[in-house]
Chain A
């Protein structure tokens, strides 16, 4: 059974660093109907808290930030629970069987996510803690699902794989950052085209009111959150693929898969 699973993983992982990201996109396209509701449910409280947060910022109400910030922190925990369910679903759909996740494992996952979030936010000044925080937080659930022993072992495995795959993971981070920047540019470009060409010339609509909306901080933050949600959904799925890609590289399953393909007469 384990060999079958490893062969399955090695089929979708290995090769260039972008392969797990592409595989995740294909997986999302194939299973969107099952994955999207879980993600929407996970992100819904955060989206509502973000609405209140943006509202307080737009109103320049400094004391009004207290409640939205508190709700945002609380919604983070809900989101992590949802993302863990989502990642478990991804693992189950690829492996063909549902791995049990006992209640006793949840505190470790949530504490790990919390620590990684602190590293990601406050450590972003020093880059390295953010890099560790991003990958450790994302790989925690898939690693714990794989290893039913003490939490130390999956955590040690994650750190070991992250440290030995700096080049591969840096490439993935760079690609995702560039894609995010390109998406922001694309949105800004679309706004420009809409305001300067489509509305005044093609539809004969005065774009001045829309221009005020588009230049407001509330709109900017809302679009930013929308892009975050898009990338977060992709990364929640892709992180499972990246995790198994690293695993496949470390354990040599990718080579086993290629050798098996060569023996079968296929193209490795």
Chain B
């Protein structure tokens, strides 16, 4: 008998809640039966999976975070080389006839 309607005959079992469900309570999705609660569980799980960062992104973030001193050094180098280049240009311009 259906878990929600005790007077009706169950036509299947929800793959999530494992409760017997009647034709009215059943939703066929991707070839299997779901009850209303089962669909809610499926949706919540998919939503949670979607909200999780993939492994490659987590690894990339950690690598990028560990390399922070390198990024900072590259920033420093940019300014330093820029300054040196400006000094070079100034000296070249002064020494040119």
Interface contact A57-B75, CB-CB below 8 Å: no
Interface contact B83-A53, CB-CB below 8 Å: yes
Interface contact A69-B51, CB-CB below 8 Å: no
Report A15-41 residues with CB < 8 Å from chain B CB: none
Chain A residues with Cβ below 8 Å from B64 are 111, 115
Decide yes or no: A65 and B90 within 8 Å by CB, A73-B75, A111-B64 being known contacts. no
Q: Is A42 an interface residue (CB 8 A)?
A: no
Complex: how many Å from CA A72 to CA B78? 11
Complex: how many Å from CA A205 to CA B8? 104
Contact check: which of A76, A121, A152 meets B57 at CB < 8 Å?
A: A152
Q: Is A118 an interface residue (CB 8 A)?
A: yes
Interface size on A, residues (CB 8 A): 30
Interface contact B52-A56, CB-CB below 8 Å: no
Q: Is A187 an interface residue (CB 8 A)?
A: no
Q: What are the interface flags for A57-77 relative to B under an 8 Å C-beta threshold, 1 for contact and 0 otherwise?
A: 100101001101110110010
Decide yes or no: A65 and B71 within 8 Å by CB, A111-B65, A152-B57 being known contacts. no
Chain A residues with Cβ below 8 Å from B72 are 73, 114
Q: Say which size band chain B's interface belongs to.
A: 20 to 34
Chain B: CB-nearest residue to A220: B86
Chain B residues with Cβ below 8 Å from A92 are none
Chain B residues with Cβ below 8 Å from A153 are 51, 53
Decide yes or no: A69 and B80 within 8 Å by CB, A111-B65, A115-B71, A150-B52 being known contacts. yes
Q: Is A117 an interface residue (CB 8 A)?
A: yes
Complex: how many Å from CA A108 to CA B58? 12
Q: Is B96 an interface residue (CB 8 A)?
A: no
Q: Is B17 an interface residue (CB 8 A)?
A: no
Chain B residues with Cβ below 8 Å from A53 are 79, 83
Q: Is B84 an interface residue (CB 8 A)?
A: yes
CB distance from B91 to the nearest CB of A (A): 7
Chain A residues with Cβ below 8 Å from B52 are 150
Interface contact A60-B83, CB-CB below 8 Å: no
Complex: how many Å from CA A255 to CA B51? 28
Q: Is A217 an interface residue (CB 8 A)?
A: yes
Chain A residues with Cβ below 8 Å from B65 are 107, 111
Q: Is B68 an interface residue (CB 8 A)?
A: yes
Chain A residues with Cβ below 8 Å from B44 are none
Q: What are the interface flags for A107-134 relative to B under an 8 Å C-beta threshold, 1 for contact and 0 otherwise?
A: 1100100110110011000000000000
Nearest 9 Cβ contacts at the A-B interface: A152-B53, A69-B79, A150-B53, A65-B83, A121-B78, A73-B75, A152-B57, A69-B80, A149-B51
Residues of A within 8 A of B (CB): 53, 56-57, 60, 62, 65-66, 68-70, 72-73, 76, 107-108, 111, 114-115, 117-118, 121-122, 149-153, 155, 217, 221
